[in-house]
Each structure stands twice: as structure tokens, then as C-alpha cells.
Amino acid sequence: MKFSVASALLAAASVSAHTIIDELYVNGVSQGLHNCLRLPSYDGPITDVTSGDITCNGGPNPLNTVSKNVCGVAAGSQVSLRWGHTLDSGPNDVIDASHKGPIMVYMAKVSDAVNSAPPTSGWFKIYEDGYNGSQWAVDKLIANGGKVTVTIPSCIPAGDYLLRGELVALHAAGSYPGAQFYMECAQIRVTGGGSKAPATVSLPGAYKGSDPGITFNLYAGAKTYTIPGPRPFTC
Ligand SMILES: *[C@@H]1O[C@H](CO)[C@@H](O)[C@H](O)[C@H]1NC(C)=O
Ligand SMILES: [Cu+2]
């Protein structure tokens, strides 16, 4: 059996360059490393958009670090998700710069943020960032130490939610499966709020392998990019 240096380097790069959400902030205050998060044991991707693992991870990345806590968040306040290369990465170890792609954040109402199974239906997007012609969301994430900050909509009903952060790495997305989906769900309890009911999608369901943002040649020099899924809900 031949074993080339090139394939050895590729294998090393593919295992060393993943990412995982490891910390939640509410209005800039850390909720503690791994707290209020449903975390897999491993920072690898999901690649099958029809799999149940696309909802809140699992499958090849067993969810064996699931917090017993729910973090309180007032509607209208700011929540930051911090991506790190591994479960315990330092601030400057976010993700390999090869892993360019969009970042999205979704929410779904659940009866009990700690104990409810991840729902397939009921997801609404609250944030997305793709490519502006010179920088990808992932480039900005690396420059920002792994943090993305989103506003919890002020008009949604109070109660328990799963908050799902998702990063899609497109370095191998020229054919499907190839795009690498990195997602984790946070357990939050929204206080205040209102009574607006956002339009929702299913996960799995909202994505198809043929979506232009999922089968995408990162190296073709495109100046635009179509982010997968629905457009974000606004109050
Ligand atoms: C893209 O975003 C970056 C970072 O915010 C900014 O510096 C750059 O000017 C933007 N480029 C374009 C073409 O808008
Ligand atoms: Cu990777």
C-alpha cells in the first residue's frame, strides 16, 4: 500500500482543524466554560443534511457533555456563542482559516431546555452572516477570538428554548456530501418577550445537498454566496 506525504498531510489537516462551541455569554458575561451547552465529545462535523444529527449534533460525535443548567436570557438582550478549535481551546485557537463559510444562529421553543429532546420542527433563524465579497463569517470569527454576538428577538414568547449555533465550512463543499456542518445547542430560558410567532422550518428539512450554499466551490472566485436556510426572523 502506498502512503503519500500529501495524503498524510491532508489527513492531519482534516482532523486538526475542526471547531466546537464551548462557551455562552449573556450581555457579555461568560456563563462558564461548557455551561448550558449540549456538547459532543468530539469537535468533528456532520455532513449529512438529512440526518437527525444536523439538529443539535450527535451521531459520530456522541453528546456526552450535556449541561444540567439552563441560562436565563432577557428577550432583546445579547447572547454570544464562542467557537473554539477543541472543547478547551484558548482564545486564539478558534478554527483553521481554511474552513471558510457562513455562520447562522437558530432558536426553537421547547417545554424544558435541559430535558427536551432536540425538536425537528419549530426552528427559526435569528442571525446569519455569509460572505461580503472579501471576508467570510469565519474570517471575522477568527479575528474576533471565536465569538459571534446575536440579539434574542424582543418580541418572542417567554420560555425555554434551544439556541442553535451553526458554522458551515466550505473547503470541501465542491460536491455533496462535502460541506462540514458544525453545530451545538444551548439551553436558555427567555424572560420578558412578547407574543410574536416566527415562521419556522424543520432541521433536518431546511437544507438540501443541492442548495447553492451547500454544494459550493470555494476556490472558483465567486463574489457572492447564498446562505442556506430561511432568512432571519425580525420583530
Ligand atoms: C467585508 O467585511 C469586512 C469586515 O467587516 C470589511 O472590512 C470589508 O470592508 C467588507 N468588504 C466589503 C466588500 O464590503
Ligand atoms: Cu475540520
Q: Is the CB of 134 under 6 A from ligand 1?
A: yes
Interatomic CA distance for residues 20 and 193, integer angstroms: 29
Instruction: Give 3-40 as a DSSP string.
Output: --HHHHHHHHHHHHS--EEEEEEETTEE--TTTTEEE-
DSSP 8-state class, residue 141 = H
Q: Is the CB of 132 under 6 A from ligand 1?
A: yes
Residue 198's nearest CA partner among 230, 167, 228 is 230
User: Which residues have a Cβ under 8 Å from the Cβ of 175 and sit 6 or more positions away?
Assistant: 215
Dihedrals phi, psi of 89, to nearest 5 degrees? -70, 150
Q: Give the DSSP H/E element, type plus range, for residue 143.
A: helix 137-143
Q: Which atom of ligand 1 is nearest to the CA of 133?
A: 13
**Rg, C-alpha atoms of the chain:** 17
Residues of the chain with pLDDT under 50: 1-14
Question: What is residue 184's predicted lDDT score, i.e. its pLDDT?
Answer: 98
Q: For the segment 123-149, what is each residue's pLDDT rounded down to a tens digit?
A: 999 999 999 999 999 999 999 999 999
Hey, which of 129, 131, 135 would you mutate to test ligand 1's pocket, going by the most ligand atoms within 8 Å of its Cβ? 135
Model's pTM, two decimal places? 0.93
Interatomic CA distance for residues 230 and 235, integer angstroms: 15
Domains and CATH numbers, the chain: 18-191 (2.70.50.70)
CA of 229 to the centre of ligand 2 (A): 22
Question: What is residue 89's predicted lDDT score, i.e. its pLDDT?
Answer: 87
Question: What is residue 17's predicted lDDT score, i.e. its pLDDT?
Answer: 80
Question: What is residue 88's predicted lDDT score, i.e. its pLDDT?
Answer: 87
| First-last CA distance in the chain | 59
Per-residue cell: 53: 444529527
Q: CA angle 29-194-28, nearest 5°?
A: 10
**pLDDT averaged over the chain?**
93
Q: For the segment 69-106, what is each residue's pLDDT rounded down to a tens digit?
A: 999 999 999 999 999 999 988 888 999 999 999 999 99
Q: Which atom of ligand 1 is nearest to the CA of 143?
A: 4
CA of 114 to the centre of ligand 2 (A): 28
